[in-house]
Amino acid sequence: MSRESWLNAALLLALVVVPGWALWADEPFTITLATRAVIFALAAVGLNIALGMGGLVSLGHAVFFGIGGYAMGILASHAQNYTALMEWPFVIEGTKSMPVIWLVAVAASSCAALVIGLLSLRTSGVYFIMITLAFGQMMYFFAISWPAYGGEDGLSIYVRNGFPGLNTLVPIQFYGICLVWLCIALLLYARLMRSPFGLALNAARQVPARVRAVGLDPRRLQLVALVISGGITGLAGALFADLNRFVSPSMLSWQMSGEIMVFVIIGGVARLFGPVAGAGFYVLLEHLLGGVSEFWQIFLGLFLLAVVLFGKGGLVGMIAGRRRDG
Amino acid sequence: MSPILLAEQVLNGLQSGVMLFLMAAGLTLIFGVMGLINLAHGSLYMVGAFAAATVAGLTGSFLLALVAALAAAAAAGALVELLVIRRLYAKDHLDQVLATFALILIFSEGTRWLFGSFPLYLDIPEALSGTVTLPGGIAYPAYRLALIGVGVAVALGLWWLNARTRLGIRIRAGENDREMIAALGVDIGKLYTLVFALGAALAGLAGALVGAIQSVQVGMGEPVLILAFVVIVIGGIGSIKGALIGALLVGLTDTLGGVLLPELFKLFTDPASAAASGSAFASMAIYILMAAVLIWRPTGLFGART
């Protein structure tokens, strides 16, 4: 096994051992922290498909994260108020069932990614960054000024949504659900990387002209990547909303987009376990430094600068060395 | 909706447009010359506003406050360029985004640490605190009118700088071919620092001027930064003319949309829900404008065709 495989195995082991220890030591807060890290990692795996494989620097992934969150919030709030979501032309009821919410979250955020992708992929480079950021801000302001679902105050859900056969209010069981989703997303990422689609996407990032020359459309490949990426991040949003039992426009804010990007970059762009390392490190840093200083984000900023200026390839890159496929 | 109210809103739109122009002009200049996307431009806007509020609090002079805002933002810009930004020119956009995002965190938390979380207030100067009666009987705040004047003056000044001075020639040459002007003996490092400080000073000026009508607080820069991005996408990257037209379009769309859309919705639904949904859609108006421009001209109204 290469050093990166060892590192990946160690990270995966940590995802099982840490909460296991917390369960044994009766430290539910640690489990909640681990759940937070796993959900952030899932969102970042989503972004990594667009950013790492596709080379699409999207500063608007909070849109998908937030749409996933609101999918959960809207469906669950209708279910807890016993009101129908829609009465015409046919009745749609709210729901407290996680699988249905996940499905809606993935569908809604993929649709949003399709629309944003169709518009923003007309351009590239720095335009793409600014446009994704702008669409993110659009959704943020829309959520703030749309009063039906809490507006600026957000939506509180009193009881966590249910999953057949599990008691999701027990922290370790909810953690298990999130971990399973993270593993599925990582498997998908690994499969995609080796699939014809992933190879073509990789080529479209590096030399779009040659991809065009062999008869593929780089924009279409990037659009598909963005839709898959948005769907996964949307799923993470639904889980995050369920973790907090709360959704608010801050899930759609540009800071959130920046944070998801930070997870990917400090972990290692285009590395399978980069998002896991990045999100885990971020949550750890937030927890440790947040206890020391109210202004811990200064240190986060300095650390980020150091990663950009001196560290190549993020945490995974520093430990495991350069990627073999460049 | 009376014509006078409409005229007032048009003036408000122009005012917010010219202030956006000050931000967008600096961003587009920095991108055009150095090829750098600078997310921390909003932080320089905040630095200007805080410097102005502090100096105005100490001396009571608005003019000194403006000078302080220009100086502080330019100095912060030059410092950041020398320490960090300079190492980013050769890197890709992703690294630039992350590094300047890190700068936002450092600036915002640093300012919060120095000044606390409570907003500061910057008073409008005595001489401009009244209203002016314009032709047609429109009573309009003198300060806002002065902002429009400052914005137009800066736009003219930038045009003069760009088209008529040696520095302008160097800036345009730097946009076209940086190796060539370096070979001709222009100190490109110094030019970059100068351009960055100029852009920062413009942002600081905007922060101080707008700070007097809004509150001065941490995080005030980023919403303006994102609006400035919308302006640049609409106007075309690297074009100061595009930044001006784009900024006015965005300022007018935002202001008029906020007034007219709820009125428009009232034609269809009851007033309460019209106000709610009207303002919700008005908050999206400028982004819809941006999407429309993207469909029509993907590189912006005045951007280079590729």
By C-alpha distance, the chain A residue nearest B99 is: A305
Q: Please tell me chain B's helix, strand, coil percentages from 3-state DSSP, rounded to the nearest 5.
A: 75, 5, 20
User: Do the chains contact at B93 and A127, CB–CB below 8 Å?
Assistant: no
Average pLDDT over residues A6-30: 91
Q: Where residue A1 falls among pLDDT bands split at 50, 70, 90? A: low
Q: Which residues of chain B have a CB within 8 Å of the CB of A146? A: 276-277, 280
DSSP letters for A211-261: HHHTT--HHHHHHHHHHHHHHHHHHHHHHHHHHHTEE-GGGGSHHHHHHHH
Residue A184: partners with Cβ closer than 8 Å, 6 or more residues away: none
Stated pTM of the model: 0.91
List, as ranges, residues 2-21 from B with C-beta within 8 Å of A.
none
How far apart are alpha carbons B266 and B274 in whole angstroms? 5
B34 close contact with A: CB closer than 8 A: no
The total number of structural domains in chain A stands at 1
By C-alpha distance, the chain B residue nearest A253 is: B223
The answer to whether residue A89 is domain-embedded is: yes
The answer to whether residue A271 is domain-embedded is: yes
Phi and psi torsions of A180, nearest 5°: -60, -45
DSSP letters for B123-156: PPPGGGSSEEEETTTEEEEHHHHHHHHHHHHHHH
Question: What are the pLDDT digits (tens) for A190-203?
Answer: 999 999 999 999 99
Highest mean pLDDT among A33-37, A144-148, A162-166, B6-10: A33-37
Q: Where residue A177 falls among pLDDT bands split at 50, 70, 90? A: very high
A84 close contact with B: CB closer than 8 A: no
E strand or H helix at B80, and its extent? Answer: helix B62-83
User: Do the chains contact at A254 and B226, CB–CB below 8 Å?
Assistant: yes
The distance from CA B38 to its chain's CA centroid, rounded to whole angstroms, is 13
* Residue contacts between A and B (CB atoms, under 8 Å): 123
Interface test with B, best of A254, A308, A309, A315 (most B CBs within 10 A): A308
The answer to whether residue A325 is domain-embedded is: no
User: Do the chains contact at A261 and B101, CB–CB below 8 Å?
Assistant: yes
A142 close contact with B: CB closer than 8 A: yes
Contacts 24+ apart (CB under 8 A), A286-290: A287/A33
DSSP state of B91: S
How far apart are alpha carbons A190 and A194 in whole angstroms? 7
E strand or H helix at B89, and its extent? Answer: none
Average pLDDT over residues A92-102: 88
User: What is the pLDDT at residue A311?
Assistant: 75
The answer to whether residue A74 is domain-embedded is: yes
List, as ranges, residues 162-221 from B with C-beta within 8 Å of A.
none
DSSP state of B241: H
Residue A163 structural domain: 3-320
CB A315 within 8 A of CB A273: no
Cis amide bond preceding A89, omega within 30: yes
E strand or H helix at A85, and its extent? Answer: strand A84-86
Tokens (6 digits) for B287? 């982004």
User: Do the chains contact at B298 and A131, CB–CB below 8 Å?
Assistant: no
pLDDT at A250 over 70: yes
The answer to whether residue A213 is domain-embedded is: yes
- Which segments in chain B show pLDDT lower than 50? none
Nearest-CA neighbor of B286 among B244, B239, B248, B243? B248
Question: What are the pLDDT digits (tens) for A228-244?
Answer: 999 999 999 999 999 99
The answer to whether residue A326 is domain-embedded is: no
User: Do the chains contact at B105 and A298, CB–CB below 8 Å?
Assistant: yes
Nearest-CA neighbor of B225 among A107, A95, A258? A258
Which CATH number is A242's domain given?
A: 1.10.3470
Q: What is the mean pLDDT of chain A?
A: 90
Q: Which of A120, A122, A130 sits opposite B232 (nearest CB)?
A: A130
User: What is the pLDDT at residue A326?
Assistant: 42
User: Do the chains contact at B99 and A309, CB–CB below 8 Å?
Assistant: yes
Nearest-CA neighbor of A162 among A105, A95, A107? A95
How far apart are alpha carbons A183 and A127 in whole angstroms? 33
List helix spans (H) across A92-169.
98-120, 125-145
Interface test with B, best of A305, A310, A315 (most B CBs within 10 A): A305
List helix spans (H) across chain A.
3-24, 28-48, 62-81, 98-120, 125-145, 171-194, 196-206, 208-213, 218-244, 254-267, 274-292, 296-309, 314-320
Q: In this prediction, does ipTM exceed 0.95?
A: no
Q: Which residues of chain B have a CB within 8 Å of the CB of A300? A: 102, 105
- Percent of chain A residues topping a pLDDT of 90: 63
The distance from CA B122 to its chain's CA centroid, rounded to whole angstroms, is 19
B97 close contact with A: CB closer than 8 A: yes
Angle between helices B240-266 and B285-296 (to 10 degrees): 130
Nearest-CA neighbor of A155 among A208, A94, A102, A100? A94
By C-alpha distance, the chain A residue nearest B114 is: A295
The answer to whether residue A136 is domain-embedded is: yes
List, as ranges, residues 59-78 from B with C-beta within 8 Å of A.
none
List, as ranges, residues 133-162 from B with C-beta within 8 Å of A.
none
